[in-house]
Each structure stands twice: as structure tokens, then as C-alpha cells.
Structure 1
Amino acid sequence: MRLTPGAGPDIDLDDVDLLDLDLYASGDPHRIWDVMRAKAPLHHQTLADGREFWSVTRYDDVCRVLGDHREFTSERGTVITHLGEDDVAAGVLLTSTDPPRHTEVRRPIAPRVTARAVKSWEDGIRRAIVRFLEPALDGSTFDLGEQVQRLPAIVTGPLLGIPEQDWDQLVQLTSMVMAPSDRHFKLGSEAATLAIAHHELVDYVTRWVKRRRSDGGEDGSLLDHLMSVRAGDSPLTDEEIALDGYSILLGANITTPYTISGTVQALVDNPEQYALAAADPSLVPNLVEEGLRWTSSACNFMRYAVDDVEIGEGTIPAGGAVVAWIGSANRDESRFPDPHRFDITRSNAKRQVAFGFGPHFCIGAPLARMTLRVFFEELLRRCGSIARAGDPEHLRSIFIAGMTHFPVTVQKRRHGGGVATAGAGVAVRPAVTPEGGCPAIADFPPQYSPVKADSGF
């Protein structure tokens, strides 16, 4: 999808189909979200087959929908493409489970991926990223959009306990789940693509668990740790481990690659921002936060209203499906002044909700943030300039905002590979938020705050 909205005729929301894949592959959804925030903060759409859903696009409303499972449940499904189809894995699959079960499974995993815990992985991640960047520095065209899709597997594969020979297969399968209509991943119909990918991913983790139980060994990986997790008084069954492992594999492959390619595109289109970051490496953490806000790779999540809920100047009836548009929330002008300007000195960039909000806030956010920070540190250290070498191709997906192709050429930095340390003369005061966590609870009105008992886990 386009990340910078363009000019165009006035938009009539009655004519808008938010499930039109062309809107995200070649259209301009940010223009539509701008109008929705201003004129229809609670938007209703009925499909030709009678199914209906509501949309919230304002920052506070998105946080409310995602933040309180007592008002909005995940257990009937969280993906708009499955609208009206109750999730067969509800109550088991982490993404389709509400507290307390969600908390019981997630809480033992969380200490393994805190900002402090993942710090010990930084050197290995840096070496992997340096190797990844080497082919881009030889002066030839480098398709960042295509190549970066493998980076999460290179980084997280060893941490999850996945052998290198399986990385490419798992990248392909997770992409099939997230973008089953995209030509690069589609196998037959969308339904067939989803069915194949889901079966293969769950089967992979199931076989992994059986081998580990048979071998009796431990490798300290996150999947290995999942085998020792207890939900309440009982250990997880192999089916539960397989489905939770499936959730972790999907999460590990969403945000990072598309945030990288989208942020690099923003730096190419705004060379003064690239120059700022190159001149002052202390800006890189805020560059990451602005990149997360700008790209909003996971651009929406769905919930179902438990009871009638008044929100966004309207009412969602009990049982109604509501889509929280993260991509819109991160461009809400009431929270982010001049929201369509990419600005790595933005003082409140860390209040972005690209990782979600509330109980389902991305458990891997600290690892993703560190990976992104290291990537841009090494990119700026090695690359003097980056230029487009062709037109990008956008992912054909309602759920994921990203590029499948983004050809670039890189001019290698000439002064020994170090980033200049001269300050850019711009003061940045990032928002004070919990380390590696979601936006501070104090930033939100009480009725929109996340459920504190879950601590974002």
C-alpha cells in the first residue's frame, strides 16, 4: 500500500469497500482513513452476502478495542478475511484466546523475550545483519523488498530452535498465511493457500515437538521452553504447543521485514532524514519508532463486541465484528501532528501502536525493536546513499502493509565504514514508556487503558 497519500477526488465513504484487495495493492487507503477519522469514526459496511462489520480508525478507539477483552473478544477470530467464521482454534491459538488462558500461556514465555533478555542476542543478530547487507554493497541492483523477507528467519530461527535448512520453507508458509491472495504466495484459491499453509505450519511444529520428546534433549529455544509451559495446573498438550508455536512463527515474520523495506523507502524519499540519522547515530532508536509508526505493517486486527458498545460516536451491537485499523491510528493527527510527514525527530514516535495494544501486544516487540535498531545502525554505517532502482511492488493483502519488491542501488560509505558522530543539532525527546513495552498507560484516558492485570502480556 502507498505510505504517503496522494491527491485525488473527494471520497464518498458509501462507495468505499474496505475489503477490496486492489485498495491495498495499488490504491491509497490512507486518504480513505483520513476521511473516516474525520467524518465516520465508527464506519459500518455490509457485504453483498449480508455479512457486516464496523471499523474504528481513531487512535483512542483503536486502543480501546484492542485493550479490553471484556468489551471486545478475540475468541471468535481476529482476521477480517474470516469475517463471520468462528475460529476453530478459539481458546487454544494464542491470537484467538482471551485472558485468563491467554495470560497463563503468555506470562511464562514473556521473560524470555524482554528487552533485557534479548540483549544477549545482539552480537549474533548484528553478525547476521552484516552478512545480509554484504550483497547490497557491490553496486548492483539489490531487491530489498524480496531479500528482506528472509531476514526474520536468519535472526529468529536459531532463537526458536529451527534448523537453517527449514528457514526458507517457513518464510514461504508464513507469507502464504498473511497474504494468500498475493501472486508470490498464492497456490490455487485463497482458501486453498490458507489451508495448505496452516496445515504445513502446524504439522511442522507438531513433528518438531514429537522429535524433541523422543530425543529427550533441550536446546534452550523458545519452542523448547513452550513445552514446559503450564496453563493453570496442566501442561500444554501437543496440539496446544503446536498451535501456540504456529502463532509465534507467524509473529516472528510479520513486522520486521516490511518495517525495514518501508522505512528504507521513506529514507530514500526523504534524503534529509537519512542525512540526519547518518550524522547522529543517537537518532536511530527514534528512527525505528517512526518507521514502525509510518509503516504499520500489521495494519488491522478484528475483534467481536461482547455486548452493545458505544464507541466512535456510534454503537456496535453485541456480537458485531469490529476492525481496529492500526495503520490509521498511527496517522491520527490528534496524536501525531503532521502525521503524513516522515520525521525521525518526532518526539512522541514511540506512542505508535504498530505492535498492537493491550493483552495481545506483540510479545516479540523487544526483539523486533533491537533487530530494527541494529539493522539501521549497520545500514547507516555501511551505506553512503541509497537510490531507487525500479518501482516497488506492494503486497496484495488486507492485513499486511508491505512490499514484495523494492529494487535499490547502494553507494558504499567511503570513510572506513563508521557513521559520522557530529550531531545534527536537533533535540529529540522520545516519549517515556515502559522498556520494550506498549505506550504508557498514563497516555490514555482511563476508559481506553489496557487491562492492567495482563501487564501487556
Structure 2
Amino acid sequence: MSEPATLEAPALKTARDEVYALPIESLNVARSALFKDDAIWPYFERLRAEDPVHWQPASDFEPHWAVTRYNDIMAVDTNHEVFSSEGGISLGPSEEMIAKLVASGAQMTGGAFGGPGPNMFIAMDPPKHDEQRKTVSPAVSPHNLKIMEPLIRERAGAILDSLPIGEAFDWVDKVSMELTAMTLATLFGMPQEDRRKLTRWSDTVMSRPGDGVIDSWEEKRAEMGAYAGYFLNLWAERKVNPIDGDMVSMLAHGEATKDMNQFEYLGNIILLTIGGNDTTRNTISGSIYALNKYPDQYAKLRANPELIPSMVSETIRWQTPLAHMKRVATRDFELGGKTIKKGDNVVMWYVSGNRDDTVIDRPNDYIIDRERARQHLSFGFGVHRCVGNRLAELQLKIIWEEILARFPDIQVLEEPQRVPSTFVKGYKSMQVMIPRRL
């Protein structure tokens, strides 16, 4: 098994050395390179300590308040009347960057800058948000999850049984992407042979040319066009022939959603794709990485598989698959001693709040039997709390039950390649090896 010292991004040491030499007002965590290099931690540490509600002028991204402490994030997240989602849930490009993007041929629709757009229920305020959310929530109800559990377990077992023994392979591609794509295709009522289209489209939404997913804006436009066309066809089909338990059918026939325009429908499809795909797949990958980085915790898990549910919650906290959410102030508001003005963008850095040592004991450590393991920000709070949180936990629980039944060890061979995104905090690839089966 890898020793903990071997798993640390090289850029992190440089960031630690440099961040405290900078003036506090110049700290900017909204840089995709920091996430790609896993070098964000000392930036957030200093902001939490010295400037937890930090004004960030326009850079590549629009100007915003960076909120980095757990309790301040909770104050924003649970107050939808003051902090609105109507302006979109992720940081958008600055005006200067928009000009550059347009000049380069970018399509300035949702996701043109590596984040989902505004035509989705999570980017709405009540009552419209509540009505649309209520339409799809039965798909991930406890009743429906109980029905889906044997199918998820069967698929997880088949994926794990197909893995090579004694040779390197990419865990992200072979396991994390595969299980989540299978589950999401089921929720959409799609043929399983189309499941990896969801992976590709989800990655395309979140990417810009040069990120390693698409090479040009023309390619992105073509991919997004294919994505839209596929789901508009599915929408038309489900209008006539609905399927029980399928989210497209629910949207096509729900009182609050059946008459929505195509942009709103596609916005909700993007939301459900990213919410059901990126978050769970990156937490599955994150669990393998974390257990290798903390081999004492891996040994503890092998010795006591009953810790799996607690380990799942700790992974979701420690990984934080969505790094931030944005809101817009509807009026002037005091937060952390700062006056947020009406119209200001406010960014809740969940990834930082989940490492706040004033609320969470030893937050940088991965502790699978942590007390109150579900005390994390990763699913959000208030009206926008993640609708599929129980499904995410269920998939992680099942995959680890099946892993422990098969393999005594899964070894991460080197630092993984991470996603260059300030929104989705995830892994592009992770080389692992399974020495033997049980």
C-alpha cells in the first residue's frame, strides 16, 4: 500500500511557502490551476483565519465575496430570501473574460466558462424552485432507492469482477464513471448502451478548450447540440409514452414542469446530469485516494466494515465534490463584519467550510469513525439541499460493501490527475492496482 507521504501534490508545498508572503487582499482562490494542482488548502486556511468574508475583484471570474467559514456559509445557504439563486449557482466569467471568450468564438450559454447555466430549478427561488424540485424528487425517494438498490449492487459487483488483477488501470474510468453513468441512465430512462454519453456531456458542460476534454469552442457547440437533441427527443417520446420512475417522464408530465420551454427543460437536464454524475463519481474516486493517503483508516475499515456508512459521510466531507455555490444578495446585508451590497455575488466555498477547525475537529485529517460524520456542507442546506444526497450515499455504501467482499487492498500508484475546475472538485484519472482477490 502507498505510504501517506507519497500522496501529495507537489504544488501544495510551494503554495504553503508562498501564500503567507502575499498581502491578504491579493489572495484569489477562484483559479482553476489551484484546484488542478490541489494547492488550494493554504489559501483557504489563511482566508478563514484573517478575512473569512473576502472581497474578490474581477479576475477571470466576476467580482464576488468569498465566504470561507462554516458558520458564515450556513448563514448564506439557509437564507434564500436575502441570498438568491436566480443569477446562477456557479461563478461566471468577468466582463473582460466574456469579451475574450466571445472573440475566440465561445458560445456564451450555460457552461461556457466551466459551470452550469441559470435555466434550472437550483438556479431559481421559491416558489418556482420548490414546484420543479418536487416534480423530480420521487425518483430519489427512499421508496425508489429501495427498489434501485439491488440493481446498483448487481452492477457494482459486475464492474468490480471485470477489473484486472496485478496490473495498473484507471479507477476513474473503469469504476467511478461506469457505476454513476449506469445509475443516471436508469434515472433518465435511457438505454444503458448510451450511458457514457452522459459522462462525455457532463464533462463537456464543465469544460473549456484546453481543459483536456474539448479542443475548440466549435467542438463544444457540437457536443452540446448533440446533448440537447438527444434529450429533446427523449422529452418528446416521454410526452407520449411515459415510464414510471423516470425523471424525464416526471418533467414531461409534472404540473409545474410539463409546459416549461426547452431551455428550462435542458437546464434541468444539465443540473440532474452534473448532480448525478460528477459528484458521486468524484467521491467514489476520492474514497480510494483518501484511504491510501491514510492507510491506518483503510486498515480500520477492513477490520470493521460496519464503518462504511460513516466512511461514506467522511469522504463526502473530505472530498467536497462541488467546491462552491454562488448566490446574489437581494438587499444590503451584514456578514462577518462586512457589508454585502444588493446585487453583489456571494460565493460559499463549501470546500473551505468543510475544513474549518472552529467547527470540525482535525478537519484536514480523514477519520472514518468521526463523531457526527454527516456534519458537513457538501450537500448544501436550506431549500437547495442536494435532492439526490441519499442516492449518492447509497452508491458509495454499496460499492464499498462490494469492494471489501472482493479485494484486500486497492493501491493508488501515483498522484491522480485532477479536474481544472473551481466548481467540480474531482479527478480526471487515478492509476491504481489491485494486488489480489480475496
Give the alignment's TM-score, normalised by structure 2. 0.86
Pairing partner for 2:250 from 195, 210, 225: 225
Residue number in structure 2 paired with 1:391:
415
Is the Cα–Cα contact under 8 Å of residues 165 and 437 in structure 2 kept in the other structure? no
Deviates more, 1:91-100 or 1:320-329: 91-100
Whether 1:121 and 2:148 are equivalent positions in the alignment is: yes
| d(CA) in 1 for partners of 2:209, 2:333 | 33
Residue number in structure 2 paired with 1:185:
213
Residue number in structure 2 paired with 1:360:
384
Is the Cα–Cα contact under 8 Å of residues 179 and 400 in structure 1 kept in the other structure? no
By how many angstroms is 1:256 displaced? 0.8
| d(CA) in 2 for partners of 1:298, 1:50 | 17
Is the Cα–Cα contact under 8 Å of residues 179 and 395 in structure 1 kept in the other structure? no
Whether 1:150 and 2:178 are equivalent positions in the alignment is: yes
Is the Cα–Cα contact under 8 Å of residues 185 and 195 in structure 2 kept in the other structure? yes
| d(CA) in 2 for partners of 1:224, 1:47 | 41
Is the Cα–Cα contact under 8 Å of residues 32 and 421 in structure 2 kept in the other structure? yes
Alignment CA distance shift 1:65-1:34 (3 Å): same
Q: Residue by residue, what CA displacement relative to the aligned partner does 1:372-422 show, whole Å, maximum 9, x if unpaired?
A: 1001111122111122223311111111111111101113343xxxxxxxx
Residue number in structure 2 paired with 1:173:
201
Residue number in structure 1 paired with 2:126:
99
By how many angstroms is 1:29 displaced? 0.6
Residue number in structure 1 paired with 2:231:
205
Q: Secondary structure at the match of 1:301?
A: strand
Q: Which amino acid aligns with 1:94?
A: F
Residue number in structure 1 paired with 2:44:
33
Q: Which amino acid aligns with 1:202?
A: A
Is the Cα–Cα contact under 8 Å of residues 410 and 432 in structure 2 kept in the other structure? yes
By how many angstroms is 1:218 displaced? 3.0
By how many angstroms is 1:217 displaced? 4.7
Residue number in structure 1 paired with 2:161:
134
Is the Cα–Cα contact under 8 Å of residues 184 and 273 in structure 2 kept in the other structure? no
Q: Residue by residue, what CA displacement relative to the aligned partner does 1:272-309 show, whole Å, maximum 9, x if unpaired?
A: 11111111121000000000000001010111111111
Alignment CA distance shift 1:54-1:3 (3 Å): farther
| d(CA) in 1 for partners of 2:306, 2:171 | 25
Residue number in structure 2 paired with 1:369:
393
Is the Cα–Cα contact under 8 Å of residues 2 and 26 in structure 1 kept in the other structure? no
Q: Which amino acid aligns with 1:155?
A: T
Quote the RMSD (CA, aligned, Å): 2.6
Alignment CA distance shift 1:26-1:48 (3 Å): closer
Q: Secondary structure at the match of 1:36?
A: helix
Alignment CA distance shift 1:187-1:356 (3 Å): farther
Aligned runs of 1:288-327 on 2, under 5 Å? 288-327=312-351
Q: Which amino acid aligns with 1:201?
A: Y
| d(CA) in 1 for partners of 2:141, 2:61 | 44
Is the Cα–Cα contact under 8 Å of residues 61 and 94 in structure 2 kept in the other structure? no
Residue number in structure 2 paired with 1:79:
90
| d(CA) in 2 for partners of 1:91, 1:32 | 29
Deviates more, 1:313-322 or 1:12-21: 12-21
Residue number in structure 2 paired with 1:421:
none
Q: Residue by residue, what CA displacement relative to the aligned partner does 1:350-380 show, whole Å, maximum 9, x if unpaired?
A: 0112112221111111111100100111112
| d(CA) in 2 for partners of 1:282, 1:51 | 45
Q: Which amino acid aligns with 2:128?
A: R
By how many angstroms is 1:224 displaced? 1.2
| d(CA) in 2 for partners of 1:307, 1:183 | 37
Q: Secondary structure at the match of 1:350?
A: coil
Residue number in structure 2 paired with 1:441:
none
| d(CA) in 2 for partners of 1:218, 1:10 | 54
By how many angstroms is 1:247 displaced? 1.9
| d(CA) in 1 for partners of 2:252, 2:119 | 15
Q: Which amino acid aligns with 2:246?
A: S
Alignment CA distance shift 1:181-1:299 (3 Å): farther
| d(CA) in 1 for partners of 2:178, 2:161 | 15
Q: Which amino acid aligns with 2:212?
A: H
| d(CA) in 2 for partners of 1:90, 1:395 | 19
Alignment CA distance shift 1:339-1:310 (3 Å): same
5+ residue gaps in structure 2? 1-6, 99-107, 111-115
| d(CA) in 1 for partners of 2:62, 2:379 | 28
Q: Secondary structure at the match of 2:434?
A: strand
By how many angstroms is 1:219 displaced? 4.6
| d(CA) in 1 for partners of 2:8, 2:79 | 31
Whether 1:8 and 2:17 are equivalent positions in the alignment is: yes
Deviates more, 1:203-212 or 1:77-86: 77-86
| d(CA) in 2 for partners of 1:356, 1:50 | 22
Q: Which amino acid aligns with 2:290?
A: A
Is the Cα–Cα contact under 8 Å of residues 59 and 332 in structure 1 kept in the other structure? yes
Instruction: Give identity over the alignment, percent.
Output: 28
Alignment CA distance shift 1:25-1:162 (3 Å): same
Q: Which amino acid aligns with 2:238?
A: R
Q: Which amino acid aligns with 1:166?
A: D
Is the Cα–Cα contact under 8 Å of residues 139 and 246 in structure 2 kept in the other structure? no
Is the Cα–Cα contact under 8 Å of residues 199 and 277 in structure 2 kept in the other structure? yes
Alignment CA distance shift 1:181-1:307 (3 Å): farther
Q: Secondary structure at the match of 1:253?
A: helix
| d(CA) in 2 for partners of 1:387, 1:261 | 12
Residue number in structure 2 paired with 1:404:
428
Pairing partner for 2:305 from 276, 281, 300: 281
